[in-house]
Structure 1
Amino acid sequence: MSSALDEDTKQTLAAGRETAGAMLRAAQKDLQKVFIVFLFGFLGTFYALSLYVWEFLKGVTKAKMDATTEGALDIIAQTPFDVLLLQAKIALVVGILFAIPPFIYFSRDALKARNMWPKSPVAPWKLALIGLTMLLLFAGGVAYGYLVFFPFTFEFLARSAYNAGFDPKYSIVKWSQFIFLLTVSFGLASQLPLAVTGLSYTEIVPYELFRDKWRHAIVGIFAVGALFTPPDPFTQIMWAVPVISLYAFSLYLARVVVTAKRGSEKIALKATATEQWNLLAGTGGVGGLLVYAFYEYGGVELANEALVVAESEYRFLMPGSEAVLGGFVIGGTIFALVLGLAYLVFRDIQEIERTQIGVGDPTKLDLSSLDASGIRAAPPEAFADREENEIMALASAAIDDGDREKAQALIDRFDSAEADREAAEAEAEESDGLEDRATRASGAFFDELTGGETDEDDIGGYYKDIAFIVDSITSRAFWIIGWFMFVLATTFGWLYSGGIKVVYDNFLGRLPSSVTPDEVWSVITLHPMEALVLEVKFSTILAAFATLPLLAYFAWPALRERNIVMRHRSTIFLWVGALGAGLFGGLALGYTHIAPTVITFLVEDALAADMIISYRITNFFWLVFFTTAGIGLLADVPILMVLLNSEGITFDVMWNRWREITVVILALAAVFTPASITTMFLVTIPLMVAYGVGLGVLFVITFGGRRNLAPARRILE
C-alpha cells in the first residue's frame, strides 16, 4: 500500500506521526490529569443519561401530545444491550471531547517547537468573549430546538403515525440519534452570526458575496433543513425560519464590522451614543413603559387568551412582587436601548457607504478618502479597472500629505491587482489550449476506437443517438418534471391525509379471521420519521412510473428519427394500455390473493405459539408492495419484451444480453429496495425468472429468433 503513495504524502504522514508522538511525550507527565478529565466526562455523562437525560428527553418528546397519542407512544429497546451500549457510546464521545482541550494544552511545548501553536494578535479577553458568544449562541439554538421544535415535531410525527393505524414505538437508538442529530444541527446553525462576521472581517469570503447571494443562501438553508428534518413543510419551515433570521442578523453584524474596518475609525460607538443620548433615552423609556403597560393593563390576559386559542400549553405569569416587575421593566429598557443603538449604527453605516465607499459598489470606492488601513482592507474589485496613472497620482498626493504608508499601500494593492489580472489572462489562454487539445484527443480516441469512421454501427453513432434523444427530452423538461412533482405531491397528500390508513384497513380486512390483527399484532414505527419517509418513497415510485409514458411520448419522435423504433407515436397508447393492463392485473391478483396468503403463512405459526407480533412499518409495507405491485411488474416483463421485439429489438439480442440485464436489475434493486441483501435477491430472482418466461414466449413467437415481430434495427449486438 505504501508504494502507491507519492513522496510528499509519505513525508506528510511521517510528520503527522512524529508530531503526534511528540505531543504524547510532551504531555506524558500530565496524561493522568487528562485521563481524570476524560473519566469525569465519561462517568458524568453515563450517569446523567441514566438518572436525568432520558426522562427529560421523554418529557420533551411528549410535551405537546394529547392523552391518546401520548399513551400510544413508547420508547423501546430492541436488544438487552441497547440502553447500556448507547449510554456508553455517548459517554465515550463526551469524555473524549472533554479530554481534547487539556491534552492539547499540556502538549503545547511540542507544538510550539514546531511552530504549530497559534500566535494570535487578539487579546485574551477578546478570545474569551468570542468563546463565550459561541457557547451562548449554541445554547440559544439548542434551547429553540427543545422548547419549540422538538415538542411540535414529535407531536406531529406521532399523531400522523397513530392516525394511520400504526403504533409509534420508537427504538431508543434511532430516537436518540434523531434528537442528537437535530440538536447538533440547531447548535451549529446558531453559529451563523459568528461565522459570517468572521469570514467577512478576514475577507476569506467577502461580505458582498453573503449580501448578494442571499437567495442562494435561503435555498441552501431549506436544502440542509430537508436533510435534518422530517419530509414535510411544517417542520422544515420551523427549522428554516429561525436560521434565515439568523442569516439576516449575521448580514447586519458583518456589515458593521466590515464597514468599520474599511472606513477605519469612521464608526465610533461611544460618539454615536453620546451624540444621540436623548434619542436612546427616549427609546429605552418607551421600551420600559411598554413592558410595564403589558403587565399592568391587561396584556397578560389577552396574551393568554391568544395562547388558549392556539392550543398552546404555555402561559404568561404575573410577577410575584413589585421587585420582579421592576426587573422586567429594566430588562425591557435595556433591550430597547440595544435596538436603538443598533439602528443608529446601521444609519451611520449607510451614511459612510453613501459618502465614502459607494453604494455597495467596490469599483466606485473613493480611495482618496481612505487611510492606509482602509486601502489594505478595500476589496480587490476597487483596483481591478484602475489605471496606473490614477494610482500614481493618488500615491503622490499621499506623499505630499506626509502619509507614505498610504502611498505604499496604494502601489502594493495596484501591483497585486495587476498580477491577478495577468494570471487570469494566462489561465484563460491555457484553458483554451487544453480545450483544443482535449477536443483533438477525444477525436483521435474515437478514430482509434471506430477505425477512423463514425457510422451507424459504431460507438460514435450510439453516442450521437443518445445525445440527440436526451436533447429532445430536455426541451420538454418542464412538462416532465411538472407532471412528476404533481403526481408525487398528490399521492403524498392523499397518503398523509388518511389514504395510507384506508389501504391498511382494507388490506387487513382481506386476511382470514384466524389471523385478524388484535392486541397481539401491531405495525410499529421504530424511527420518528419512518411513516412519513415510507409515504415519500411510495409517492416517488408511483410518480416515476406515471412519468414513464410521458417521457416515452416526448422521446418517441427522436427514437423514430434515429431508427431505434419503427412506428408512430400513437404506438405509445398501445404500450401504455398493454403494460397498464399487465400491471393492474398483477396488482389485483397480488392484493386480493397472494399478499394475504403470504402474510397469513408468516403469522399463523407465531400466533399459534402465543407470540406478540410487531412488524416494523417499512418491512410490512414493502412486503405488501412486493407481493402486490411486484406481481404486476413481473407480469409486465414478458409483455414489455414482446413490445420491444415488435419495435426491432431481436430475440437474439435479448438472449445474448441476459448477463447485462441481470447486473442492471441487481443495481436497481440495491438502490430502491430496503437495505438488505436478502431483499435485493428476493427482487432480482423473480425478475430474472420473469425475464426467462419472456424469452420463452419470444422463442415460441419468433420461432427461435428466425422470424421476429419486426425487422431488426440497429441495436447493440
Structure 2
Amino acid sequence: MASALDEDTQQSLAEGRESAKAFLRSVQKDLQKVFVVFLLGFLATFWALRVYVWDFLFAVTQANMSPEVAAASDVIATTPFEVILLQAKIGLIVGVIFAIPPFIYVARDELRARGAWPQSPVPRWKLAGIALLGFGLFGVGVAYGIYAFFPIMFSFLAGFGLEAGLQPTYGIVMWTEFIVFLSLSFGLAGQMPLLITGLSYSGIVQYETFRDKWRYAVVAIFVFGALFSPPDPFTQLMWAFPLIALYGFSLYLAKLVVTAKRSSDRIDVLGAARNHWNVVGGAAVLGGGIVYAFYEYGGRSAVNDLLRLVGSDWRFLEPGAGLGTDPATAAGIYAVAWAIAFVAVATLWAVYADLDTTSAGYQYGDPAAIDVSELDAAGVRAAPDDAFAEMDEEESLALAQAAIDDDEPEKAQAILDRFDAVHDGDGDGGEADPDADATGSGGGGAGGAGGDGLMGTVQDRTSRASSTFLSELTDGDEDEAEDDIGGYYKDLKFIFDSLRSRSFRLVAVFGGVMAAAFTWLYLGGLATVRNDLESRVPAEIEGGINIITLHPVEALIFMVKFSVLLGIVAVFPVALYYAWPALRERGFVAGRIWTVYLWTGALFAGLIGGFAIGYSYIAPGIIGWLVTDAKLANMIITYQVSDFLWLVIYTTVGIGFLADIPIAMLLLNNAGIPYRVFRNRWREVTVGILLFAAVFTPADVITMILATLPLMAAYGVGVGVLFLVTFGGRRNLSPPSELVGR
C-alpha cells in the first residue's frame, strides 16, 4: 500500500522518533523523580479539593449574599461520578503543571546538547525577578477576582434569578469552570505590565503604539467586560477600572524600560524628585492628611454606615485594634505609611515627567517604519525613499484612495508619484515630478479636472490589479470567470451597496429592539412570563414547577439570545424596504414598493396569530402534559432554565414562524418566484433548515430534530397551498422574475 507521505517526510519523522526515544532514554533515570512530583501534585490537589477548596469556593460564592438568597442557592452534582471525576481532572492538570519545571531541569543537559536550551545574556537573578513578578501579578489578579469580584457578581446573579422565579442551583462542573476561567482571565490580565513592557522593549510593538492607541484599549476593556460579565453596571466597572489602571501602569513601566534602552543615562530618580520637590512634598502631606481626616472627622463611621447599607460585613476598625497600640500611635503609623505610598507615586510621576522623548530618532528610528498615512502632502514628498521601498502597489493604491476619501487629492497624487519614482528608478525620491505636482495642486485647488485625473489614475491601477487577480484565478479568461460566477456577485454587491447608506438605521433598529427586549426581560419580564405560564397548567400541579440555573449566567445568556433573535426579526422588514428597489432592478423580485408593506403586514399578522395560539393553548397544553406525566410518576419536577424557556419559545414564537412559512411562500410567488422553484428546491431548503436548527437550537440532537421536522412540515404545507392557488403551477400569482430565467 502506497504511503501518502513522500520519502523525505518519512525519513524526517523517523529521525524525530529516534531523537525523542534517545532523549527519553537519557533522562529515564530521572523520570521517576518527575513522576513523584506529578503524583504529589495530583494527590495534594485531590485532597485539598475534597477537604478545603469546595467549601472555600462556596463561601466565596455566598460571601455577599443576603441570608434569604444564600439559603436558596446551592451547588449540586448532576451525575453520580461528577465530583470525583472533576477532582481527578483538576488534580491531573495541576500535577502536570507541577511536573513541568523539574522535567525541564533534569533534561537541561540534553536540551543544551541539542541546542534547545536558551543561551540568554540576561543574568539569572533578573530572570528570577521577572518570573517572581509574573507569578505575583498573576496572584494579585486571581485574588482580586476571588475576594472582590466573585462575591458581588454571585450575589447579583443569584438575586436576579430568585426575582425571576429561577432557583440558583448551580451544577458543580459549570460552577467550577466559571470560577476557574474568570480567575484565570484576571490572572492573565495581571500580566499586562510584563506583556506591554516586553513587547515595547523588544521592539515588536512600539511603546508609542500602546500610548497613542489607549482609547482603543479602553473600549476593548469595556467591550470584553460587557460580554463576559453580568449586565450590572457596578460589576462591569469593577472589571474595567482595575484593568484601565493596570494599562496606565503598564505604559509607565514600558516608557521607563524603553527610555533606559534608548539612552541609559536619562533616568535619574533622585534628580526627578529634586526637580519636583514641591509635588513630592505635597503628596506626603496629602497622604498623611487623608488618614488624619478619615479618623478624626468621621470618615470611618461614614464608610462603615455605607458598607452596612449595601449589606457588606466588612468594617473599618478603630485605629490600633489590630496592632495592639493606642489609637494615637496607630493613626500616626497609618499616616506615615500612606505618606510614603503617596511619595512613591509622586516620585514615579516625577520620573515620568522628566523623561525627554523628543530626541532624534525617538519615534521612527527606522525610516521604513514611517506611517505615510499620518503625513500631509509636503511630508509625503519629503519622506525618505525607504518609506516607499517596502510598499507594494496595492498598499500605495489603498493609501491614495484613503487620501481621496479624506478630500486630500494632492496627498494622494504625491503618494503615487513617490511610489512610482522609487520603484521605477526615475527620480531621487526627494522630489516629485513638477507636472504631477501641478496636477495634484490643481486637483486640490479646483477640485475639478485634477481630481478626476487622479481618480482615473487610481481606478486604472485598481482595475489593472483586479484584472491580474482575476486572471490568476481563471487562467486569463475573464469572460469565463464572469460566467462561472453567474453574475450573482455583481447582483449581491449592488444590493448590499444600496443598503450601505442605510446601515446606521438598520443597526439602530436592531440595537433598539434588542435593548428593549433585554431590558424588559431584565426588569421582570422573565418572571412575568414564567408565572403566567405556570398559572395556565392544570390546577393540581400549579406551583410545582421548579426551574433552576445550572450555570451562573445561564438566564442572562438566554435573554441575550432571545433579544438578538427579536432584533433580527425586527430589522428584516426594514432591510427589505431599503433593498427592494435594488432587488427589483436586478430581477430578484417584481412589484412596487408598496409590496413591502403587504409583506410586513402579512408576516407580522401570521407571527402574532401563531404566537397568540401557541401562548394561549399549545404551550400550556404541552407543559401541562409533561408536568402531569412526571407528577404521576412521583417525580420532583425540576427543569433547567434554558430547556424550559426554549420550550416556551418553540411553542409560542415558533408557532408564529411556522404560520409565516406558507404566508411567505405565497408572498414570494406574488413577487415572481414560481411554484416550480419551491417544488424543485426542497433539498436546498431542507439543508437550510438543518443549518438554522443547528445554530439557533440548544446543543441537543433531539431538540434539533424537534425543531427541524415542524419547519419541514410547514414548508410542505406551503408547497401544497401554492399547488392549489396556482393550479399546479400553471397560473402563478405574478410572472416569473428575471432571476428565474437565468
If the length of structure 1 is used for normalisation, what is the TM-score? 0.86
CA distance in 1: counterparts of 2:52 and 2:351, whole angstroms? 45
2:612 aligned to which of 581, 585, 588: 588
Q: Please say which of residues 129-138 and 667-676 is displaced more in the overlay.
A: 129-138
1:310-709 mapped onto 2 (5 Å cutoff) = 310-318=310-318, 319-320=320-321, 321-322=325-326, 325=331, 327-349=333-355, 352-354=356-358, 356-357=359-360, 362=363, 378=365, 380=367, 422-424=389-391, 435-441=466-472, 444=476, 447-448=479-480, 459-518=485-544, 521-709=545-733
Q: 2:166·2:547 contact (CA, 8 Å) conserved in 1?
A: yes
Supply the distance in 1 between the matched residues of 2:491 and 2:664 (Cα, whole angstroms).
22
CA shift in 2, pair 1:202/1:644, >3 Å: same
Cα deviation, residue 51, structure 1: 1.0
Letter in 1 for 2:542: T
Partner Cα distance (1:436, 1:49) in 2: 64
Q: Assess, with a 3 A threshold, how the Cα gap between structure 1 residues 490 and 383 changes in structure 2: closer, same or farther.
A: closer
Identity within the alignment, %: 52
When residues 379 and 650 of structure 1 are mapped into structure 2, their CA distance, relative to the original with a 3 A threshold, is same
Structure 2: 5+ residue runs without aligned partners? 373-383, 396-422, 425-460
Q: 1:435 to 1:559 in 2, by over 3 A?
A: closer
Q: Which residues of 2 match residues 95-174 of structure 1 at below 5 A?
A: 95-174=95-174
* Cα offsets for 1:561-611 (capped at 9, x unmatched): 223222111111111111111111111111111111111221212211221
Is 85-94 or 438-447 further displaced after alignment?
A: 438-447
Secondary structure of the corresponding residue to residue 160 of structure 1 = helix
1:145-224 correspondence runs (5 A): 145-224=145-224
Q: Which residue does 2:35 correspond to in 1? A: 35
Alignment-derived partner of residue 394 in structure 1: none
Change (3 A) 1:166 1:427: closer
Deviation at 1:673, TM superposition (A): 0.7
Residues 192 and 250 of structure 2 are in contact (CA less than 8 Å); yes or no, is this contact kept in structure 1? yes
The whole-number CA distance in structure 1 between the counterparts of 2:331 and 2:229 is 39
1:346-366: CA deviations, max 9, x gaps? 1211xx225x358xx725xxx
Kindly indicate whether residue 261 of structure 2 is the aligned counterpart of residue 294 of structure 1.
no
Structure 1 residues 716, 176: CA separation in 2 closer, same or farther (over 3 Å shift)?
farther
Aligned equivalents of 1:283 and 1:380: distance in 2?
A: 42
Counterpart position of 2:412: none
Kindly provide the CA deviation profile for residues 592-650 of structure 1, in whole angstroms up to 9, marking residues without a partner as x: 11111111221212211221011001111111111111111111111111111111100
In structure 2, C-alpha distance between the alignment counterparts of 1:571 and 1:103, rounded to whole Å: 72
Change (3 A) 1:209 1:95: same
Task: Give the conservation status (yes or no) of the 8 Å contact 2:587–2:739.
Answer: no
Q: CA deviation at 1:306?
A: 3.4
Aligned equivalents of 1:303, 1:96: Cα separation in 2: 46
CA contact (8 A) 2:368 2:388 kept: no
State how far apart, in whole Å, the 1-side matches of 2:347 and 2:7 are: 58
CA distance, structure 2, for counterparts of residue 462 and residue 285 of structure 1: 73
Secondary structure at the counterpart of residue 353 of structure 1:
coil
Does the aligned pair in 2 maintain the 1:260–1:266 contact within 8 Å? yes
Tell me, what secondary structure is at the counterpart of 1:252?
helix
Quick one: which amino acid aligns to residue 526 of structure 2?
I
Equivalent-residue separation in structure 1 for 2:711 and 2:157 (angstroms): 36
**Alignment-mate amino acid for residue 635 of structure 1:** A
Q: Which amino acid in 1 is paired with 2:730?
A: R
Contact map agreement 1:582 1:635 (CA 8 A) in 2:
yes
Q: Output the amino acid matched with 1:517.
A: G
Deviations 1:441-486 (A, max 9, x none): 4575552366xxx6xxx84333222111111112210000110000
Structure 2 partner of 1:261: 261
2:470–2:478 CA contact under 8 A, matched in 1 = no
Tell me, yes or no, if the aligned pair for 1:446 and 1:460 is still in contact at 8 Å.
no
1:182–1:229 CA contact under 8 A, matched in 2: no
Q: 1:299 to 1:11 in 2, by over 3 A?
A: farther
Residue 488 of structure 1 contacts residue 542 of structure 1 at CA under 8 Å; is this kept in 2?
Answer: yes
- Once residues 274 and 122 of structure 1 are traced to their aligned partners in structure 2, the CA distance between those partners, rounded to angstroms, is 32
CA distance in 1, matches of 2:466, 2:605: 51
In structure 2, do the counterparts of structure 1 residues 111 and 380 end up closer, same or farther at CA, with 3 Å as the change threshold? farther
Residues 442 and 511 of structure 1: CA distance in aligned 2, closer, same or farther (over 3 Å): same
Q: Secondary structure at the match of 1:563?
A: coil
What are the equivalent positions in structure 2 for 1:223-242 lying under 5 Å apart?
Answer: 223-230=223-230, 233-242=233-242
> Size of the alignment, in residue pairs?
659
Aligned residue identity for 1:510: R
In the TM superposition, what whole-angstrom CA distance separates every residue of 1:17-60 from its partner, at most 9, and x where no partner exists? 45544442332111121112111111111111111111111111
CA offset at residue 534 of structure 1? 0.8
- Partner of 1:78, secondary structure, is coil
* Structure 1 residues 338 and 15: CA distance shift in structure 2, 3 A: farther
TM-score, structure 2 normalization: 0.83
State the partner residue of 1:404: none
In structure 1, stretches of 5+ residues that fail to align are 364-377, 386-416
Contact 1:362 1:382 in 2 (8 A): no
Question: Cα gap change, 1:445/1:497 in structure 2, threshold over 3 Å: closer, same or farther?
Answer: farther
Quickly say closer, same or farther: Cα 1:715–1:158, change in 2 above 3 A. Answer: same
Instruction: Give the CA deviation at 1:295.
Output: 3.7
**1:203 offset after TM fit, Å?**
0.9
Is contact 1:230-1:529 (8 Å) kept?
Answer: yes
Deviation of 1:303 after TM superposition, in Å, equals: 2.6
Change (3 A) 1:9 1:626: farther
Per-residue deviation, 1:291: 3.1
Cα distance in 2 for residues equivalent to 1:587 and 1:425: 58
Shift of 1:15: 6.5
Of 303-312 and 662-671, more deviation after overlay is shown by 303-312
Deviates more, 1:626-635 or 1:660-669: 626-635
Deviation, 1:172, is 0.5
Contact 1:137 1:187 in 2 (8 A): yes
CA distance, structure 2, for counterparts of residue 472 and residue 28 of structure 1? 69
Structure 1 window deviating more from structure 2 (103-112 vs 463-472): it is 463-472
